[in-house]
Amino acid sequence: MIDDANQKKIEQAVKMILEAVGEDPNREGLVETPARVARMYNEVFSSVNAPAFDNYKLFPVDETTEMVLIKDISFYSMCEHHLLPFFGTVDVAYIPNHQRVMGLSKIPRLINYCAKRPNVQERMTVNIAKELTRILDPKGIAVSVSARHMCMEMRGVEKTGSQTETSYYTGVFKSDHDLKQEFLQRING
Ligand SMILES: Nc1nc2c(ncn2[C@@H]2O[C@H](COP(=O)(O)OP(=O)(O)OP(=O)(O)O)[C@@H](O)[C@H]2O)c(=O)[nH]1
Ligand SMILES: [Zn+2]
């Protein structure tokens, strides 16, 4: 949550950027832009300095419960090098422990939490696994992220449609090759 004083700071900064690129921040179409951008940053950076993610519920399950896999969870984040969006999908799997699982909708919520800050894709990928470890202490986690980076598409190297893939494995997904293969087959097939 960005407080009022810092919202004002963003507004001033955006006004200065507009002036510096040669625009007139007072022309009709731009007058409200600094305040709008400040509100937008409040949304897209809402996890900066936020308290630890706690919006979840855990439910009991049988000891025999195997892989829980959620595929194609969309996310939007901001690359910390250019402050341009990168976005795509996350596939997450875990092997429950302590006979408990997490409410399903809370996993996309956790991913939103990890996404809404200046990021690099690799760190976001690891953070998703770290948060799940803290909450569930599962026997293993697999996270796979596929994303398009606007800083590589609309500027710079200009490679439209290129996908960046990152992954991170813990516990049994690291030690059990067959389990990792099953995860990869299920997300790719
Ligand atoms: N590893 C990683 N790199 C990223 C990510 N997002 C952006 N980058 C890269 O960060 C790098 C920043 O490099 P610089 O040379 O400082 O910036 P630049 O001059 O704008 O580089 P170009 O994008 O090549 O024009 C670029 O190579 C980007 O592609 C990310 O999530 N992970
Ligand atoms: Zn970038």
**Structural domain boundaries enclosing 115:** 58-188
Q: What is the CATH number of the domain that holds 75?
A: 3.30.1130.10
The whole-model pTM stands at 0.95
The H or E element containing residue 167 is strand 164-171
Phi-psi region of 49 (alpha: psi -120 to 50; beta: other; left: phi over 0): left
Are residues 66 and 158 both part of a single domain? Answer: yes
Strand order in the sheet with 85-95: 118-119, 68-79, 85-95, 140-149, 164-171
Enumerate the known binding-site residues. 79, 82, 151
Instruction: Decide if pLDDT at 187 tops 90.
Output: yes
Rg of the chain taking only CA atoms, in angstroms = 20
Are residues 75 and 40 both part of a single domain? Answer: no
Mutate to test the pocket of ligand 1, among 81, 124, 158 (most ligand atoms within 8 A of CB): 81
In a domain, 74, yes or no: yes
Are residues 74 and 123 both part of a single domain? Answer: yes
Q: Which residue's CA is minimally distant from atom 6 of ligand 1?
A: 79
176 to 13, 65, 102, 152, 180: CA distances (angstroms): 51, 17, 23, 35, 7
Nearest residue to 154 (alpha-carbon basis) of 74, 80, 82: 82
Are residues 67 and 159 both part of a single domain? Answer: yes
pLDDT one-digit tens code per residue, 61-120: 998 889 999 999 999 999 999 999 999 999 999 999 999 999 999 999 999 999 999 999
What total of structural domains would you count in the chain? 2
Are residues 119 and 173 both part of a single domain? Answer: yes
In a domain, 101, yes or no: yes
pLDDT of residue 65: 84
Are residues 111 and 177 both part of a single domain? Answer: yes
In a domain, 50, yes or no: no
Residue 1: pLDDT band (50, 70, 90) is confident
Residue pair 58/106 in contact by the 8 Å Cβ criterion: no
User: Any idea what the Cα angle at residue 52 is, between residues 47 and 53, rounded to 5°?
Assistant: 80
Q: What is the CATH number of the domain that holds 38?
A: 1.10.286.10
Q: Which residue's CA is minimally distant from atom 22 of ligand 1?
A: 156
Are residues 92 and 145 both part of a single domain? Answer: yes
pLDDT of residue 127: 98
In a domain, 53, yes or no: no
Are residues 82 and 129 both part of a single domain? Answer: yes
172 to 33, 87, 154, 155: CA distances (angstroms): 49, 28, 40, 40
The one-character DSSP state at 28 is: G
